Amino acid sequence: MPKWIEAGLLEPLDTSRIPRWTELEASVRDIPAFQKDGKPYFVPVDWGNTAITYHTDHLKDADVTSLQAFADPKHAGRISIGDNVDDAYALGFLATGVKDWTQATDAEFQAASAFLRQVHGNVRTYWADGASLAQLMQSGEVYLSWAWNETFSTMTYEGHPIAMKRDTDEGASSWVCGYSKLANGPGSDDKFYDFINAWLDPKTANYLVSAWGYGHGNAKAMAEMDTADLAAVGLDSTENLRANTLWQAPVPVALREKMIAEFELIKAGF
């Protein structure tokens, strides 16, 4: 986001056209990196975790108390992590003791990379989307993954023995996703704001939580949901979501470029 804002690729949002703007989760709506000159450029629409997710016919809770499980040779060929540089390095940094990657030193970056190289030796495949990961886990071909909320939520709803463990020794990762507006982009401003406002409607929030297991950007809508239902999927509060996690905040540009280049080398076996 900061890179795109500084490059002039995005334009600030007209919050007067987003009636539910004040209902949004302030802790992510007001992140300084998503603003410039006091103007917002980002609409937070969903948030969640990337955490250990496992097939309980093959592994028990005691087998996954630590993220070091990903590097254990006994799981070779039965592991999948996302083909996503942010999630991958969240795993690498967490496993090597770093919770705030925005302050990571070069030595810490090298340690995280070395861990991911160990994990690479165990990886069956790098999943590209939730549906492909679900197919891998359904049969137990992959029984240990570094996955988003939806894998646990959708697969347990379908009756598969899948669990998600956020409280490992090293924790989990947390993130927020959202929408921005292209500067001088094609299309219709009216349709852009119609789309955003539909996303922020409480009906969308209910669907996102119940069907996918993700938190919604509309904090007011979340607060009106059944607290027991939210707690059951670990979404009772953003404070709990981000406790003992690596928050995927924007990293310095130089570090991000190194992460991108190194992850491509790791996936290629170098």
CA atoms within 13 Å, Cβ hemisphere of 150 = 12
78 three-state secondary structure: coil
pLDDT of residue 226: 86
Instruction: List b or e across 136-168, with b for residues whose CB sees 16 or more CB atoms inside 10 angstroms.
Output: bbeeeebbbbbbbbbbbbbbbeeebebbbbbeb
51 three-state secondary structure: strand
- Read off the pTM: 0.93
pLDDT of residue 244: 83
Domains of the chain, earliest start first: 2-46+176-241 (3.40.190.10), 48-174+245-267 (3.40.190.10)
pLDDT of residue 237: 60
> What is the residue-level pLDDT of the chain in tens, covering all 270 positions?
888 999 999 999 999 999 999 999 998 999 999 999 999 999 999 999 999 999 999 999 999 999 999 999 999 999 999 999 999 999 999 999 999 999 999 999 999 999 999 999 999 999 999 999 999 999 999 999 999 999 999 999 999 999 999 999 999 999 999 999 999 989 999 999 999 999 999 999 999 998 899 999 999 999 999 888 787 777 766 666 667 899 999 998 899 999 999 999 999 999
pLDDT of residue 236: 67
pLDDT of residue 69: 98
Place of tokens 């919050």: 15
249 three-state secondary structure: coil
Distance CA 82, CA 136 (A): 12
